[in-house]
Amino acid sequence: MKLIPHSKPTLSPKDIAAVSHVLKSGALAQGKKVLEFEGKVARYMGVKAGVACNSGTSALHLALLALNIGPGDEVIIPSFVCSALLNAISYTGARPLVVDVKEDDFNIAPLEVKAKLNKKVKAIIVPHMFGCPADLKELLRFGVPVIEDCAQSIGADYMGRRAGSFGALSICSFYATKVMTTGEGGMVLSNQIKILDRIRELREHNYKMTDFQAALGLSQLQKLPDFIKKRKQIARFYDRAFAESGFKIPPKDENRDPIYYRYVIKSKKRAGIVIEQLKKKGVGASLPVFKPLHHYVPGSPCPVADRLMDQCVSIPIYPDLTYGQIQQICSIKLH
Ligand SMILES: Cc1ncc(COP(=O)(O)O)c(C=O)c1O
């Protein structure tokens, strides 16, 4: 049986034509297309400007450097997320403080953040996990600069405004399987032009995006509203099918308009068993994160992240899924 892949980029002949147009022009390095891409992404995200770079991890690193974070400083991050956050902090020499997340939406828990605040804390990195905005209102109240990590949430809204337009800075990732892609790529966004000028200088040292990547990004950006619409439609099918199957499905909240970068279900069985069962039925499923970050660095335990790791499974959700594949996934009964 052919396995439905867990994730997949959505590429069209138009995307390919956009890239080859730039390749044929011979202007391959960072140039006009990158500038155009920065402007259009910034407008889409509801902020003044953006600086494109070569990955989401680089974007996080640049954002931390722009806030003058270095040795002796501390940065708060959630445990239930990929190790890119830890890596970016380690490049600056600062110390990560890893805190637990909320059981219902997988996002950083404001109360856990509050418990860790001290004079050395210079930023909080807030990923909007799996495309669902975190509790920005509570987090911004602490008065510490917030870096919104929109690697998984481009296009998601919070209280009627785009997530990514609330923090001192925000970052995006355009990795191959993200909501929209440039192959590898990222961007730092902000309303503070001075901070972005600094980032533009820092980017000079090996963190640049190329014009043919930006051409792919511009082409993908045009289709982004359709990509998101399709993700939301698939999520509605899954909501029905998996709630009926006894799985816990993502919560609903009128303040958040998630884009379903991932559709994560919670089972009473162990995640590994569910992933194997899905595989036997032709569905590529995956753990939603590789390993909770509190296992990499000394610090407080994060029992919620550990429990989520035990129970949660991410199933395929991307615009290229066919109706037949969606039906195949919905028809699976694991209980
Ligand atoms: C929440 C989050 N932040 C940052 C990154 C890093 O992005 P990139 O893979 O483009 O370096 C990722 C990617 O996996 C991510 O999921």
Predicted confidence (pLDDT) at residue 152 exceeds the cutoff of 80: yes
287 C-alpha to center of ligand 1: Å? 15
Regarding the beta carbon of 238 and ligand 1, being less than 6 Å apart is answered no
Among protein residues, the one with the nearest Cα to ligand 1's atom 12 is 151
CB burial of 67-76 (b: ≥16 within 10 Å; e: otherwise) equals: bebeeebbbb
DSSP string over 202-225: HHTTT-PPPHHHHHHHHHHHHHHH
pLDDT band, residue 250 (cuts 50/70/90): confident
Instruction: Please report, for the chain, the start and end positions of each structural domain, with discontinuous segments joined by +.
Output: 13-220, 224-330
Looking at residue 325, its pLDDT comes to 97
- In tens, the pLDDT along 23-64 reads 999 999 999 999 999 999 999 999 999 999 999 999 999 999
Nearest atom in ligand 1 to the alpha carbon of residue 174 is 10
The average pLDDT across 328-334 equals 89
Q: Give the residue-averaged pLDDT of 181-196.
A: 98
- What per-residue confidence (pLDDT) applies to 37? 98
Model pLDDT for residues 266-304, shown as the tens digit of each residue: 988 999 999 999 999 999 999 999 999 999 998 889 999
**Is the Cβ atom of 175 under 6 angstroms away from ligand 1?**
yes
Query: Is the confidence at residue 333, as pLDDT, over 90?
Result: no
Assessment of whether the complete model's pTM goes beyond 0.85:
yes
Q: Which residue has the higher pLDDT, 299 or 216?
A: 216
Share of the chain above pLDDT 90, in %: 92
Distance CA 183, CA 270 (A): 33
| Topology annotation, domain 224-330 | Aspartate Aminotransferase, domain 1 (3.90.1150)
Say which CATH topology domain 13-220 has: Aspartate Aminotransferase; domain 2 (3.40.640)
Report whether residue 30 contacts ligand 1, using a CB cutoff of 6 Å.
no
Q: Which of 54, 91, 175 to mutate to test the pocket of ligand 1 (most atoms within 8 A of CB)?
A: 175
Beta carbon of 152 within 6 Å of any ligand 1 atom: yes
pLDDT classification of 211: cutoffs 50, 70, 90? very high
